[in-house]
A = this chain, B = another copy of it.
Amino acid sequence: MTSYIRDANEIYLNSFAIIRSEANLDILPPDVAKVAVRLIHACGMTDIVTDLGYSETAVKSGRTALAQGVPILCDCRMVAEGVTRKRLPANNQVICTLNDPEVPELAQKLGNTRSAAALELWRPYLAGAIVAIGNAPTALFRLLEMLDAGVPRPAVILGFPVGFVGAAESKAALAADSRNVPFLTLHGRRGGSAIASAAVNALAREEEI
């Protein structure tokens, strides 16, 4: 049997050290680089650095909002589960409305996916919130539509939908015009719930462990 490191803190520290030695973090502003370390940690890929898209104010806006106790709105249960509760600075609420009983009917009425329809139930929470999208391109597209229609602006959009239909396009649309909302995204097909929740966890606390 191969020997292996069994100490969680040692594993974290070694991981972050490897990431810092291998990833080209210098091309990012320092606060984005710090978040990027955690995104890389979540996916095992140092080359995501060159595909990151961000507003200069995204990290600061997200940290400030979390400290003030705003809720975290997630497009799927996996993202919600990935948020480490003990890192949250103000016991922030983590909300995922995807499985609410009204959603299938809302989806039919809107002529959209359940993931997109679930955002209707975000309306009371959107002002100043953290939005974390780690699965559905339609959720990110729908959010942009809702912003165009005048819903209150969140503090930051963490836009990490994944896949082959709409993921790259929705993230490009976000980066091209984020409707005055600071954002962080990973261009292209890559993304996913682990990266989205890692972004929340990175914003929640500056300390890495």
Contact of A44 among B5, B11, B162 (CB under 8 A): B162
Q: Complex formed: what's the CA distance from A111 to B6 in Å?
A: 7
Q: Mark A14-50, 1 if CB is under 8 A from B, else 0.
A: 1100110000000000000000000001111100000
Q: Which residues of B contact A78 (CB under 8 A)?
A: 78, 81-82, 193-194, 197
In the complex, are the beta carbons of B2 and A173 less than 8 A apart?
yes
Q: Which of B8, B19, B82, B116 contacts A164 (CB 8 A)?
A: B19
Q: How far is the CB of A140 from chain B (nearest CB, A)?
A: 9
Known A-B contacts A15-B164, A162-B194, A163-B44; the reply to A169 vs B4 at CB < 8 A is yes
Q: CA of A165 to CA of B44 in the docked complex: distance in angstroms?
A: 10
B2–A141 touching, CB < 8 Å: yes
Query: A138 an interface residue at 8 Å Cβ cutoff?
Result: yes
Interface residues of A (CB under 8 A from B): 1-2, 4-8, 11, 14-15, 18-19, 41-45, 76-78, 80-82, 111-114, 116, 137-138, 141, 144-145, 148, 162-167, 169-170, 173, 188-194, 197
CB of A10, distance to nearest CB on chain B (Å): 8
Contact B42 A5 (CB under 8 A): no
Q: Return A70 CB to nearest CB of chain B, in Å.
A: 23
B1 touches A148 (CB 8 A): yes
Residue of A78, A82, A141 ringed by the most chain B CB atoms within 10 A: A78
